[in-house]
Amino acid sequence: MKLSTNLTLSEVIKSNTATRNNISNEPTKEHLQNLVALAENIFQPIREHFNAPIYLNSGYRSEALNKAVGGSKTSQHCKGEAIDIDNDFRNSVSNKEIFDYARTNLDFDQLIFEGGTKENPAWVHISYKIAGNRKQVLRMKDQKITIYED
């Protein structure tokens, strides 16, 4: 099933941890609606802007999978509202370029510069809610989330 022109449901629910531990990672109908909105409003605009493949390292997580990977109990991944993008070493689009584009051009709930160096995140977490996006920009530093500062 396609969530947007360039993103499929199988890409968003793929998890080696789920496969290894025989954990179901199928979204509910509500979560599927959220995933479509996320794909159309976050993933697809990034994909089209850069005209290049965009790679996910985490997408939807069932509660059981989220627990298995040690995710936050309030993770938006469990609602179908968040993806983590890691494009470094894949093509010409860096994680920092994706972060900067999203920050300036997209409506999002949270945008998190996760790990990495001061110049380039290890990955970019982006969440989107159908209603009530906060436009919160954060940075993960030493496993703690703080308000983003340039």
For 37, phi and psi rounded to 5 degrees?
-60, -40
What pTM value is reported for the model?
Answer: 0.92
Q: Residue 148 has what pLDDT?
A: 53
Q: What is the CATH number of the domain that holds 97?
A: 3.30.1380.10
Average pLDDT over residues 127-146: 85
Tens of pLDDT, residues 21-40: 999 999 999 999 999 999 99
User: 139 pLDDT band (50/70/90 cuts)?
Assistant: confident
Please give the residue range of the domain that contains residue 93. 2-147
Q: What sign has the CA pseudo-torsion 145, 67, 60, 128?
A: negative
The tally of domains found in the chain comes to 1
pLDDT of 146 strictly over 70 = no
Q: Distance of CA 104 to CAs 36, 43, 59, 73, 89, Å?
A: 22, 15, 22, 29, 23
CA 114 to chain centre: 11
